[in-house]
């Protein structure tokens, strides 16, 4: 059986394609670097990270991008002996404007090398590239209407102004007329277009209802790629909007794929919310088996519309067991579990010394530019993470390093080694409760003086609560109160409308003196509950 989500933890907006016996899924990474995650599988059950293709400044520089900006909704396809990856770099998302620039990169194999980007347009987001049977290529994206209060747009959310379609040529770029081919259904907020062909129809998959609990997969079809498109008899192929008790919520935004033996599946994003509807793992990737009925429309297998936690796999394959992950950072490359924020110049914020990870203190935990934070996704509702700070010698409270559960600049808890007013090393919690800009940094719990030498730090997250621990010798000791872990979630603090990523746990350092004080990390362990 397939166990959903197939890509646990922050892995939204799944675009899937098959090349021979290999399946590939590209997911959004927003402000996390390198950009785009591409996973590979041969059975739809077990998935491995194949690459993060946007890994250099020529392809992606997100310094200054806001929280939940950056890489939105990539589209992955294969044609003409190449992988094609389309992506948006969102530079602004609040207010009327969305500054969203769309690009294409290619590679002969999934591991790369990936090309420098070709710029396409900036008229909206969620770009998609379709390769037709006659060799022509078509580019799609949402048209964003920043003047929607006065003209145009969908009645439910006027800024979502339909799906644009235009022919695109690898050497000539966009050619011919651009047409708004699909306004969407009455559900509104139509985005995430992908085209699939079958039996003389062009099937247009979109996402609707926003990326919260009204999210859906909406299907339409036409005999001509330019339309007109008729809506599915049920409007939606996948959704949990009318199934509040379904364990998978916020279901929407996916793509159709066929298997070598002719079966069909549909990816979707989803979340596994805690009670009270908080989603610390963010939007994850699931997959459902679908069937074509005699009316040439696609339906979820079994006749339901809300996907399940388990799904029938193409072949009987066991899912790999969940295990703890530990690293000592002894290699020359950062382990695949980890990413950092925004900058294409990681050597400015960390180095691998061969004996560990050296963090170089830069800007604060609230920075949008150069932030020394190396972290991995939270993939489970309960886990324990531990790290060892082998060497860190702060001389002022403006220098700090430690362990953090992190969502964005206004949603985090951090257990930090720093210095007091006398320059003596100490340990305390720094927390931002998610209501920025009205809130402020708080310091719950006591300040603990530290002896010289290494310090071990830990956090135990149990659904909506978390507890920090430390030790220099002997037993682990708790520090501070139990904290609200639900704020480290999509809906925490400012809420889902400004939060599109997921909870991370990792190590960080900052130095607001500007001197780049370093912290040496020699161990990090992530252990899901029960491992």
Sign of CA dihedral 52, 53, 58, 61: negative
Tell how far CA 4 is from the center of its chain.
Answer: 16
Give the separation between CA 374 and CA 509, rounded to whole angstroms.
9
Buried b (16+ CB within 10 A) or exposed e, 74-100: bbbbbeeeebbbbbbbbbebeeeebeb
Give the separation between CA 194 and CA 431, rounded to whole angstroms.
41
DSSP, residue by residue, 171-187: TTEEEEEEEEEE---TT
Q: Is 151 exposed, middle or buried (0-12, 13-18, 19+ CB in 10 A)?
A: exposed
For residue 285, the cross-strand partners are 7, 269
Contact 450, 439 (CB under 8 A): no
**Three-state SS for 497?**
helix
Give the separation between CA 303 and CA 34, rounded to whole angstroms.
40
Element (DSSP H or E) covering residue 264: strand 264-271
Q: Which of 167, 370, 456, 529 is catalytic?
A: 370
Q: Is 27 exposed, middle or buried (0-12, 13-18, 19+ CB in 10 A)?
A: buried
Q: Is there a catalytic annotation at residue 370? A: yes
- Copy the structure tokens of residue 469: 């621990």
Contact 39, 17 (CB under 8 A): no
DSSP, residue by residue, 279-292: -TT-SEEEEEEEEE
- Copy the structure tokens of residue 146: 């920043």
Of residues 497, 473, 469, the one with CA closest to residue 483:
469
Q: Which residues are catalytic?
A: 370
């Amino acid at each position: 059986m397939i166990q959903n989500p197939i890509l646990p933890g922050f892995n939204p907006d799944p675009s899937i394609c098959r090349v021979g016996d290999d399946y590939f899924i590209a997911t959004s990474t927003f402000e996390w670097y390198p950009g785009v995650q591409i996973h590979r599988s041969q059975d739809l059950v077990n998935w491995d990270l194949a690459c993060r293709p946007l890994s250099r400044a020529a392809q992606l520089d997100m310094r200054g991008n806001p929280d939940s900006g950056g890489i939105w909704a990539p589209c992955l396809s294969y044609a003409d002996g190449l992988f094609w990856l389309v992506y948006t770099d969102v530079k602004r998302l609040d207010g009327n404007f969305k500054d969203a620039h769309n690009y294409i990169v290619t590679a002969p194999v999934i591991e790369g090398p990936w090309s420098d980007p070709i710029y396409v347009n900036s008229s909206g987001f969620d770009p998609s590239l379709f390769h037709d049977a006659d060799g022509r290529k078509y580019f799609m994206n949402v048209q964003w209407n920043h003047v929607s209060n006065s003209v145009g747009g969908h009645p439910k959310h006027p800024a979502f102004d339909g799906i644009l379609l235009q022919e695109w040529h690898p050497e000539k770029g966009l050619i011919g007329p651009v047409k708004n081919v699909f306004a969407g259904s009455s559900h509104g907020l139509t985005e995430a277009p992908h085209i699939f062909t079958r039996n003389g129809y062009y099937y247009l998959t979109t996402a609707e209802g926003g990326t919260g609990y009204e999210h859906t997969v909406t299907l339409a079809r036409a005999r001509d790629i330019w339309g007109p498109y008729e809506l599915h008899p049920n409007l939606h192929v996948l959704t949990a909007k009318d199934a509040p008790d379904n364990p998978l919520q916020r279901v929407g935004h996916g793509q159709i794929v066929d298997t070598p033996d002719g079966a069909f599946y549909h990816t979707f994003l989803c979340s596994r919310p805690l009670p009270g509807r908080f989603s610390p793992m963010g939007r994850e990737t699931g997959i459902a088996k679908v069937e074509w009925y005699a009316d040439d429309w696609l339906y979820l297998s079994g006749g339901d519309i809300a996907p399940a936690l388990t799904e029938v796999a193409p072949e009987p394959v066991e899912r790999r067991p969940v295990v703890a992950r530990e690293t000592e950072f002894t290699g020359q490359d950062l382990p695949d579990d980890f990413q950092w924020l925004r900058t294409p110049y990681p050597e400015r914020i960390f180095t691998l010394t061969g004996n560990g990870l050296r963090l170089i203190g830069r800007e604060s935990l609230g920075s949008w530019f150069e932030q020394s934070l190396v972290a991995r996704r939270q993939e489970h509702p309960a886990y324990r993470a531990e790290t060892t700070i082998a060497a860190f010698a702060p001389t002022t409270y403006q220098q700090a390093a430690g362990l953090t559960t992190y969502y964005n600049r206004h949603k985090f808890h951090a257990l930090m080694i720093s210095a007091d007013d006398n320059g003596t090393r100490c340990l305390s919690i720094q927390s931002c409760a998610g209501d920025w800009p009205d809130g402020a940094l708080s310091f719950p719990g006591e300040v603990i003086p530290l002896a010289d030498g290494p310090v071990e730090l830990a956090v135990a997250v149990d659904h909506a609560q978390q507890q920090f621990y430390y030790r220099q010798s002997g037993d682990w000791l708790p520090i501070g109160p139990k904290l609200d872990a639900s704020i480290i979630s999509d809906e925490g603090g400012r809420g889902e409308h400004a939060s599109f990523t997921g909870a991370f746990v990792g190590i960080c350092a900052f130095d607001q003196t500007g001197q780049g004080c370093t912290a040496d990390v020699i161990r990090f362990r992530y252990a899901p509950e029960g491992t």
